[in-house]
């Protein structure tokens, strides 16, 4: 393999060097030019084919090198119905065939036959291949731990995946990046990974139940099954933040697949609206809600957030957009050099003069065509004005060169004679005015004459005053104030884009075939429906945990994963067993919830969580510094000091950074690294750490039902060790935890 690849590489280098030697260039006439083109095309295709083969062989070599270190992790002996002897099926990260390429030595974990390993205990079993189901008996099921080519452990098991193997994998350190879990996929995770039928697969999973891991292995499985028809660029993962993106970025490449597209919903908003507004992020929105002292202002904002997140608001926008078909469309006037070229009234009149049976986006396009014709006529008149003459005297060399070339061509074409100066002036005028009108035409083509801002704000006037919250007028005032400052509150982003798409025409992406939404409990019903609208052709995998609903729209409203997927095309899977934390940490964290009884801890032992109380801020700081020192001495590589807000994180960081080497993470675009970090809970979501210190679990910090979820989210980040500090009286949620579950 290595020899073949080296030979191919030399081939490619040689082809590139001698590319033009093997091409006959002759452009004397049309026939010769066509032959030259054909010769170049042939040479380019040959080079491209060699490069593609080289790429494939390089990937294959990488896979084989991985197999060398850890060739397989499972074995199933399977006797097919009607056969007398069992076949030994070895399962690894990727397939490996014998030298004749006829028999599999190792099967890829995603192959249909490999599902036997994940799905069944010894006894009757079956797996599906295209067109048929193969039945038989499993007579042996064995697991291996192989590291750097050395067999470390081997177990025969009756379970799906033996606890010994999971113990081995889970007891390791948390790293900078998430690991793949192919050797320890559980039966319930396997169901998620291999589901190919559901349009919407909705996964409710407890913290640490392997939701995200299963989703990433699912992407790898879909790419394996869809070879030739599905590309990694046709799968997108909406993740909670960029920090999380860096954390999960290694999983697919480790499985030999290209990384899928990764985005945050905030990035999508900024790409669409970042030129018009300063777009608030969900973290800024939550930070405001957790720190605002003015209770009246906070009450209005929370009501606005809850209503703008709801399907009721979407219904209102649908009704409003429908009414614009008859009247109420608002446009901007088109001005040039301080003068109105075309008034907004004239544009609106033209729009409503068109056939009312036509959808609004079609009429908007026809209005744009009419405007471009009007503007072109006005552009010609503008060339004769005095300002154009003045501008022509200040032109740069390039523009003059352009005019000179045109004049030469006209002379060659033998145009009727003009005074050269007059002709030059006319061409210069056309260039100057053309440049000045270019941005206007561009804006018209992009339907910039539609005043979406004013139309959106009209929702908060008398038009939308029925079936709305009591504080509707205050909500309107709040929204108008933000828009006047060119600021877009996070709760307005999806509704604003939704209305814009209804008026301008939907921005649909039909290329995307699969959409993954992680931490889906953080998306409002409005946002989830909007994502469905953007990707109408895609299947969706939606993963979340309602116990970790911490975003602002859930402070006063309910949280639901499935609210907008009830159309008969959805399938629900529940993951109750949690693997991230030790049994002692899980017993403690599930007791923080009202309804945590059905969460099952995996039986991995560790020390009980610690609760440290302090009477003064100074004592708390000393406890914090001492705990960090102890955890470092124990060899834990990733330690997080988790705070409720960014403001608190900054304060804690300033206090401990004097005595310890720590990093402050307060922005979602910071990379995930080893060491000690101080981080607000909403940025730690989805990530796990060897050890966690909750910086302040006092009653002043965590007392509302929303705070309960924040505290639960913070504590469930811990894999091996959890310390909870409480300056003053402890949070009521910790008081509810039975005393025997912590020290």
Task: Judge whether 627 is annotated as a binding position.
Answer: no
Q: What's the CA gap between 471 and 480, in Å, rounded?
A: 14
Q: What's the CA gap between 265 and 238, in Å, rounded?
A: 6
Q: What's the CA gap between 152 and 154, in Å, rounded?
A: 7
CB 165 within 8 Å of CB 141: no
- For residue 334, the surrounding DSSP H or E stretch is strand 334-336
Task: Judge whether 377 is annotated as a binding position.
Answer: no
Q: What angle do CA 322, 326, 327 make, to 5 degrees?
A: 100
CB 232 within 8 Å of CB 252: yes
- For residue 80, the surrounding DSSP H or E stretch is strand 74-80
DSSP 426-495: HHHHHHHHHHHHHHHHHHHHTTTTB-HHHHHHHTTSGGG-SSS-TTHHHHHHHHHHHHHTTEE-HHHHHH
Alpha carbon of residue 637 to chain centroid = 27
SS3 654: helix
Phi, psi of 79 (to 5 degrees): -100, 110
CA distances from 372 to 100, 368, 428 (A): 67, 6, 22
Task: Judge whether 723 is annotated as a binding position.
Answer: no
Q: What angle do CA 468, 469, 472 make, to 5 degrees?
A: 85
Task: Judge whether 206 is annotated as a binding position.
Answer: yes
Task: Judge whether 210 is annotated as a binding position.
Answer: yes
SS3 301: helix
Task: Judge whether 209 is annotated as a binding position.
Answer: yes
Indicate the Cα dihedral angle 473, 474, 476, 480, nearest 10°.
140
Phi, psi of 164 (to 5 degrees): -60, -40
Residue 633: name the closest of 665, 673, 671, 660 by CA: 660
Task: Judge whether 578 is annotated as a binding position.
Answer: no
**In sequence order, what are the beta bridge partners of 664?**
678
Task: Judge whether 211 is annotated as a binding position.
Answer: yes
* CA dihedral for 63, 65, 67, 70, sign (positive or negative): negative
Q: Which residue shows structure tokens 């910086």?
A: 695
Binding residues for ATP: 205-212
């Amino acid at each position: 393999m290595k020899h073949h690849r080296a030979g191919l590489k030399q081939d490619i280098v040689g082809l590139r060097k001698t590319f033009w030697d093997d091409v006959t260039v002759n452009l004397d006439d049309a026939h010769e030019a066509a032959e030259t083109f054909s010769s170049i095309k042939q040479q380019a295709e040959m080079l491209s084919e060699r490069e593609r083969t080289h790429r494939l062989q390089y990937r294959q070599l990488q896979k084989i090198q991985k197999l060398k270190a850890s060739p397989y992790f499972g074995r199933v002996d399977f006797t097919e119905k009607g056969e007398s002897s069992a076949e030994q099926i070895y399962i690894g990260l990727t397939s490996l065939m014998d030298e004749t390429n006829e028999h599999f030595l190792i099967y890829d974990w995603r192959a249909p036959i490999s599902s036997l390993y994940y799905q069944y205990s010894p006894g009757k079993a079956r797996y599906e291949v295209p067109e048929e189901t193969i039945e038989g008996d499993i007579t042996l099921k064995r697991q291996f731990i192989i590291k750097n080519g050395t067999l470390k452990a081997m177990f025969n098991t009756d379970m799906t995946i033996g606890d010994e193997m999971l113990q081995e994998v889970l007891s390791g350190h948390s790293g900078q990046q998430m690991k793949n879990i192919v050797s320890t996929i559980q039966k319930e995770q396997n169901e998620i990974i291999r589901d190919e039928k559901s349009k919407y697969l909705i996964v409710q999973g407890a913290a640490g139940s392997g939701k995200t891991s299963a989703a990433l292995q699912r992407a790898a499985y879909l790419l394996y099954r869809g070879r030739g028809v599905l590309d990694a660029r046709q799968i997108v993962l909406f993740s909670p933040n960029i920090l999380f993106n860096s954390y999960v970025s290694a999983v697919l490449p480790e499985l030999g697949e290209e990384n899928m597209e990764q985005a945050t919903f905030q990035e999508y908003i900024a790409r669409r609206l970042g030129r018009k507004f300063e777009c608030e992020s969900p973290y800024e929105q939550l930070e405001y809600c957790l720190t605002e002292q003015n209770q009246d202002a906070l009450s209005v904002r929370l009501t606005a957030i809850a209503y703008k997140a709801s399907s009721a608001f979407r219904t209102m926008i649908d009704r409003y957009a429908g009414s614009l078909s008859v009247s109420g469309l608002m446009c901007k006037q088109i001005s040039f050099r301080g003068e109105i070229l075309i008034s907004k009234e004239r544009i609106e009149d033209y729009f409503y003069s068109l056939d009312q049976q036509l959808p609004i986006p079609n009429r908007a396009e026809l209005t744009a065509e009419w405007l471009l014709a009007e503007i072109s006529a006005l552009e010609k008149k503008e060339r004769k004005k005095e300002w154009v003459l003045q501008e022509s005297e200040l032109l740069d060399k390039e523009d003059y060169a352009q005019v000179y070339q045109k004049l030469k061509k006209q002379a060659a074409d033998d145009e009727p004679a003009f005074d050269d100066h007059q002709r030059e002036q006319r061409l210069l005028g056309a260039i100057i005015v053309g440049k000045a009108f270019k941005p206007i035409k561009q804006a018209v083509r992009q339907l910039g004459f539609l005043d979406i801002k004013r139309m959106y704000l009209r929702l908060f006037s008398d038009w939308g005053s029925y079936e709305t919250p009591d504080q509707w007028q205050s909500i309107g005032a709040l929204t108008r104030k933000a828009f006047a400052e060119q600021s877009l509150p996070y709760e307005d982003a999806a509704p604003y884009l939704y209305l814009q798409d209804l008026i301008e025409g939907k921005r649909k992406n039909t290329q995307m075939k699969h959409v993954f939404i992680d931490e889906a409990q953080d998306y409002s019903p409005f946002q989830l429906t909007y994502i469905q609208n953007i990707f109408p052709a895609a299947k969706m995998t939606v993963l979340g945990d309602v116990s970790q609903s911490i975003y602002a729209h859930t402070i006063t409203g309910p949280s639901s994963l499935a609210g907008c997927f009830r159309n008969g095309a959805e399938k629900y899977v529940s993951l109750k067993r949690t693997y991230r934390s030790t049994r002692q940490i899980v017993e403690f964290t599930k007791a923080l919830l009202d309804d945590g009884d059905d969460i099952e801890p995996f039986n991995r032992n560790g020390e009980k969580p610690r609760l440290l109380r302090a009477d003064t801020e100074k004592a708390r700081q000393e406890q914090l510094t001492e705990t960090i020192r102890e955890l470092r001495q124990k060899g834990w590589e990733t330690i997080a000091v988790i705070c409720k807000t960014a403001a608190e994180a900054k304060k804690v960081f300033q206090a401990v950074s004097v005595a310890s080497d720590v990093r402050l993470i307060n922005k979602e675009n910071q990379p995930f690294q080893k060491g000690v970090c101080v981080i607000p809970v909403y940025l730690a979501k989805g990530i796990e750490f060897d050890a966690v210190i909750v910086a302040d679990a006092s009653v002043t910090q965590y007392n509302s039902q929303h705070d309960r979820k924040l505290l639960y989210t913070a504590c469930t980040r811990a894999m091996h060790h959890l310390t909870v500090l409480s300056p003053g009286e402890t949070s009521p949620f910790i008081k509810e935890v039975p005393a025997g579950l912590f020290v």
